[in-house]
Structure 1
Amino acid sequence: MSQGIYDKRWEQKFILPEQRAALLNKKREVQKIEKPILDEYQLEEMARTICEAMEFNSVLLISIYRDGFIEEVTGNVHYIDEVKQKLHVKDLKGDTNFIAFESLLTVGAYEG
């Protein structure tokens, strides 16, 4: 008997939407990571890079931690709100992203 036929015989043919959503949520939970801890040197380096980018209006590649995943935003830092502890970043599409200081992971110059 062929191995392919055997697999198809015991495979589930139909799945309820609730089952599918639960399986996708479980898979997503497994893929989550813990937030990395940054030392003071990394924080100072990010602050210096952000200040230089604002001065020369250069594009940055910013990695942020959001809900267990690392996301990247590419754009110009438009404004630093020190009271709310947020960066206002205008990305390459023209959208404005509000990024909290505590969610920053890496900040670097965009090569592209």
Structure 2
Amino acid sequence: MAIRDRDKKKWQFAFGMPEIIKAHRDLWIDQNRIIKPIIDEYEKEEFDLRICYGMEFNLSVKIMIWSNGFTSELTGRIHYVDPISHQLRIELLEGEFRQIDFEDVIEVSVMD
């Protein structure tokens, strides 16, 4: 009894799989995006005061960042504020720094 093989037909759909998987992944990512919240001048001033307070007393600060439709949260100590380039430098761990743009900050709270 001979085995009937489908030759190329059985592998034909498998070559389209990476594109389908990528399309589903992109669709899922697009569905979970959020628009950037509008921050008014009073909130920005409150953020500045909290950042200055945390920097002055060397307290940990929790900063919520909006980036490309998603939010992330960083906790660390404010190391430096650069008013020229509009960036914060935050120390996440001992010796590990990250720079954040002022425009990306959507929430600041001081940890006690």
TM over 0.5: yes
What residue number does 2:6 align with?
none
Query: How far off is 1:59 after superposition?
Result: 0.3
SS at match of 2:64: strand
Once superposed, what is the RMSD of the aligned Cα atoms?
Answer: 1.6
| Alpha-carbon distance in structure 1 between the residues aligned to 2:75 and 2:93 | 6
Does residue 34 of structure 1 match 2:41?
Answer: no
Matches within 5 A, 1:12-51: 16-51=17-52
Is 1:72 the counterpart of 2:101? The answer is: no
Tell me the equivalent position of 1:61.
62
- CA drift of 1:109 comes to 1.5
How far off is 1:79 after superposition?
A: 0.4
Instruction: Give TM-score scaled by structure 2 length.
Output: 0.81
String of CA shifts for 1:14-44, please: whole Å, max 9, x gaps: 7712211110111101110110001111111
Superposed CA deviations along residues 60-100 of structure 1, whole A, max 9, x for unmatched, are: 00001100011101001100111110000111364211100
TM-score by length of 1: 0.81
Q: Secondary structure at the match of 1:16?
A: helix
| Equivalent residues, number | 98
| % identical equivalent positions | 36
1: CA distance between counterparts of 2:54 and 2:111? 10
CA distance in 1, matches of 2:95, 2:75: 11
Determine the C-alpha separation between the residues in 1 that align with 2:88 and 2:77. Answer: 10
Counterpart in the other structure of 1:105? 106
Gaps of at least 5 residues in structure 2 are: 1-13
Report what 1:5 is aligned to: none
Mapped to 1, the partners of 2:111 and 2:73 lie a distance apart of 11
Conservation of the 8 A alpha-carbon contact between 1:74 and 1:92: no
